[in-house]
Chain A
Amino acid sequence: MTDALYPDKDKNKEPQYKTLAQKRMEEIITGYTFLAPAMIVFVIFLVLPIVFAIFISFTDWNGITPLAQTVAGASGQVEFTNPSGETVTVPMGTAVIKAGEDGIRYLTQAEIQVPANGTAIVAVVAADITQGKDTNAAKSLLKDIEGPLSEVLEVKNLAPITGGLDDAFKMEGLDNYTRLLLQDGLAQKDFFTAFKNTLYFVLGVVPVQTILALLLAVVLNQKWLKARGLFRTVYYFPSITSSVVISLIFMWMFSRSGIINVVLSGLFPNYDPVTWLNDSNGLIHNLLGVFGITRQTVGEWATTRIVGLTAWDWISGPSVTMFTIMILNTWTTIGTLMVIFLAALQNISPEVYEAAQIDGATAWQTFRRITVPLLAPTTFFVVTLGLIGTFQVFDQVFVISSGGPAKTTITIAYIVYQNGFKNSEMGLAAASAIILFGIIFVFTMIQRRITSEHTA
């Protein structure tokens, strides 16, 4: 009998039905197989590097030495010269040493006979390999033989003694974290300068970009607005353009003879062109200066040091260059946030607005009492995105100012790069990155607590 359901099945075989459990298993396998590529990428490129970074942050690795390298002693060859008339025997294990009190000895690896008025060559190996790289010896340094043979023979090494290697890293415990946070020094000063700059950046950019994005979204959501799609594209466009390209264009715009200064000179006749990208004066300092408060006129308290920076430094505000980068960052991110708000706004049912209208609410009251509370989850999302993004600002700093002028645009992410790739302190870089993670986590938790209190 032909089976209408399974026309291709062999009639002599038993029809194979799958049990529910088997079907379940198939579903699970298929599900995980589809997930597998993303999971593998996630583990390899996210989880493993994070674990590795945490590990490295407890070491003093310099980022260059091959990680697999372990300590090894140097080896090479020396030449014995015998000026006397008799053959001299040099036993195995004779120590040859550097001139001076270095303490590193190299032991001959075989017994040799040095002929009368002749020379002989023998291999040597560092006696104490735990001294690693220090056991390397330049060509001219091995001069003495330990013991009575030194009165009979002369020695010199033929080529530099090489091959001494150190361990790639030592475990340093919490040293890196202490150097960054607690210990007085350059590392702490740079880290907290970066922290101060990043903090001003975050506090300046996140509120502004959230509010502006919300306002733009509300405007774009109005029924009377035509060509909404066009406006959306125009505002969203900066978000998808390469941040490097935008940074370069901003560099030209904000140069001393660039268009920004030209426009400002046209508007304000007394305007003295500002070198936007090379001005390290803090904005708050400038503001205080208008009222006559400068570093010289302010009281004694301004010179107290709080974690590496003076109190006066802490209240400097973002520098003019940092301010330019803040404008750049706000402009590029508003588009994305606006689109998110727009989507959320369109989810609010028009009946709510109609009810408000019937109750006689003004536009402002509608906005403040209805729109904003309904958008609370979206606002939380947008602010969190903003926090995470601004705390990690790096691209623009790298392209525009490389941390200058006078370290006023250094951010924590830039400190990670600087420590890891310029100062050859990968352990310190990893520690900075972990601290940055901690900071963002704390801020996000605080922010979550604040918003959940409102919505509760």
Chain B
Amino acid sequence: MSQAVLELEGVSKSYRTHLSLRKYWILRDLSLVVRDGEIFGFIGPNGAGKTTTIKLALGLLHPDAGAIRLFGLDASRREARRQVGFLPENPYFYDYLTGSEFLDFHARLFGIRSPERRRRVADLLERVGLGNRGDRQLRHYSKGMLQRIGLAQALVNDPRLVILDEPMSGLDPIGRREVRDLILELKASGRTIFFSTHILSDTEMICDRVGMLVRGSLKAVGTVEDLLRGETPPYWEVTLRGMGAEALPCGRVVSRHDDRLLVRVESRRDLHQLLTSLERAGALLVSVAPARRSLEDLLLREVRGADAGAAGPAIDKSADGGGIRHAG
């Protein structure tokens, strides 16, 4: 098993409003391990506690309970952050700096010396597609360009772990694609990427593992396949030949082409009934395709479950992603 890069162990975090003594829990007993070299997607609805988790991991917030380690070191120690790059959500940077000055400033914070700093700044500007915009002040950058320069500053120390908070938020499809490609490129160069996102299709596409956070509790951790395995398909699509639509015992015709029908059925019982009738009518079965549930379906179910007071048994996925178990 790969080395743990980021570990959270029983982490809880609450806050109090100024006038109230009542505690509001943002995170409760969160345990999670991110392994070396993987892309870990951290998903959940707004207010689930994703950004809080990231801030705790970076020592920007202090946990009420639990332990957080970066590369085996206590996350509150500054040495622990030496090999970490971070891009916050909707970042605001010093807009009076030019792109080059901005990267140079961040490189100085890592103590990188002048000749090396100049080389890295030039390389990074090229890498994020801003090679010819380095001398423009950030106040003249578009949102996509700001996101790219933000990514560049997150890479200025050549980090082993890159933490991105909603890196695709507010970007157009081209910008999203560029960020996605950059994440894959980072993984290919051996880095670990931990990112939070709302864009679940991207998560399914690029993540090695996913953690699902709902109302401060980790509801699931695992590969996308692990999480969706064993899920009942929401419907099946049956393609058949030699049978008229009027002869169907159940289901809905989606399309018709010559004597070929594409029929959608919503339950196992209907599927069984349709297949039996095919045999009786002497029709030809071309294919049966169960629709795959998506992470979005899973997330929606978890959120609704949490909203309903989590009456059913909560899914308690193993923290290190070695599998999934059900608690309760």
Q: Do these two chains interact?
A: no
